[in-house]
Amino acid sequence: MGAGENADVCCMALLGRDIAHSCSPQLFKTLFGACDISGRYELAECADEGAFCRALSQRSEIAFNVTTPFKRLALDCAAVASETARAAGGANVLVRRAQGEGFAAWNTDGAGCALFLESRGFVFADAPCCVCGTGPTARAIAAALDARGARVTLLSRTAGEDRLAYGSVDAQRALRNARLVVDATPLGMHEGDGCAFDPTLLEPECVVVDTVYGHGETALLAAARACGCAAFDGLGMLIGQAAVAFPLVLSALGMPCERSAQDFFAIMEENHLR
């Protein structure tokens, strides 16, 4: 796209709670500039579900990013939903449909996490992986890893049909054998938060991703690095999410998109991750 082309204003916002630390405005400003779009991205703090629903009904943005704890509600509010959003049980992207027909819901958590890991050379095929948490973020990541050939074990505080409890023998075995551990719980967002599991179980060959970012080094990242693991906070995943979501927004605006998610990731990585 040449300079001055497609100069329609692209208005977006992040809906969530405790989002002052968010890097999304800077990331999307970079994407707007790369595509010669006059864009605006705002943070919309929502204290509760009522505030979230009011924001959706009263604001005029073409698209919203949605963060914890409103991803399930975002899916419920959508007129249509992607398979990834339905499988995860929640949406982190809402794109306004044409002619006032509500919102389309997407979940880019899993694809964004995978895109970041691919940029770091992680090989998914047959890799034993653990994902901590049972919310939409965890389920989206687990599904994305599974789709790329990884062997995924879901871990949580309590056992269930599709998950193991952190303290169980089987969970501890899975953590020892893991080549990737993704913590998709909220732990680390508040001072004094500990780890969801015993991090001394991790082998140095394990890659650790904590989806939390912007709150300093979490207890998990510190412990993983002490074990010799390559450990990353959630900023790289956030960049991946934005890279996957941006073509959806451009499509809603009727703008041609010749760049791939990998291209958008590289643009943001150069400006925000190195």
pLDDT along the chain (274 residues), means of 10: 50 96 96 92 97 96 96 98 97 93 97 98 98 97 98 96 95 98 92 93 98 93 97 97 96 89 96 79
Position 39, amino acid: G
pLDDT value, residue 190: 83
Contact present, 239 and 110 (Cβ < 8 Å): no
| Best CA proximity match to 92, nearest among 183, 34, 9, 24 | 24
- Delimit the domains of the chain by residue range: 10-107+238-272, 110-233
CATH number of 110-233: 3.40.50.720
As a whole number of angstroms, the distance between CA 139 and CA 154 comes to 8
pTM, to two decimals: 0.93
Position 177, amino acid: N
Architecture of the domain made up of 10-107+238-272: 3-Layer(aba) Sandwich (3.40)
pLDDT value, residue 7: 43
The strand pairing partners of 209, in sequence order, are: 182, 232
Segment (H or E) for 147: helix 136-147
Residues belonging to the active site? 71
- Shared fold status for 10-107+238-272 and 110-233: yes
Segment (H or E) for 209: strand 207-210
Q: What is the pLDDT of residues 51-85, one digit of tens each?
A: 999 999 999 999 999 998 999 999 999 999 999 99
